[in-house]
Amino acid sequence: MKLIKDIKERSNVGIIFITHDLTIAESISDMTCVFYAGQVMELGKTKELIENPIHPYTISLIKSIPTLSVNYVPKQRLSTIPGFLTEDDFSDGKCRFYSRCFRSNRDCLKNIPLVHYDTDSRYVRCIKI
List the CATH number of the domain containing 28. 3.40.50.300
Q: What is the pLDDT of residue 69?
A: 54
Q: Determine, yes or no, domain membership for 31.
A: yes
Q: What is the pLDDT of residue 119?
A: 75
Q: Determine, yes or no, domain membership for 30.
A: yes
> In which domain, by residue range, is 92 found?
2-124
Q: Determine, yes or no, domain membership for 96.
A: yes
* Alpha carbon distance 91, 63 (integer Å): 27
Q: How many domains does the chain have?
A: 1
Q: What is the pLDDT of residue 49?
A: 93
Q: Determine, yes or no, domain membership for 129.
A: no
Q: What is the pLDDT of residue 73?
A: 65
Q: Determine, yes or no, domain membership for 38.
A: yes
Q: What is the pLDDT of residue 74?
A: 65
Backbone angles phi, psi at 124, to 5 degrees: -140, 145
Residues 1-16: b if buried by 16+ CB within 10 A, e if exposed: eeeeeeebeeeeeeee
- H, E, C per residue of 15-29: CCCCCCCHHHHHHHC
Give CA separation, 84 vs 69, 89, 110, in Å: 30, 9, 20
Q: What is the pLDDT of residue 96?
A: 92
Tens-level pLDDT at each residue, the chain (129 residues): 888 888 888 998 888 889 988 888 888 889 999 999 999 999 999 999 999 999 999 999 988 887 655 566 666 677 889 999 989 888 777 899 999 999 999 999 988 999 998 877 899 999 988
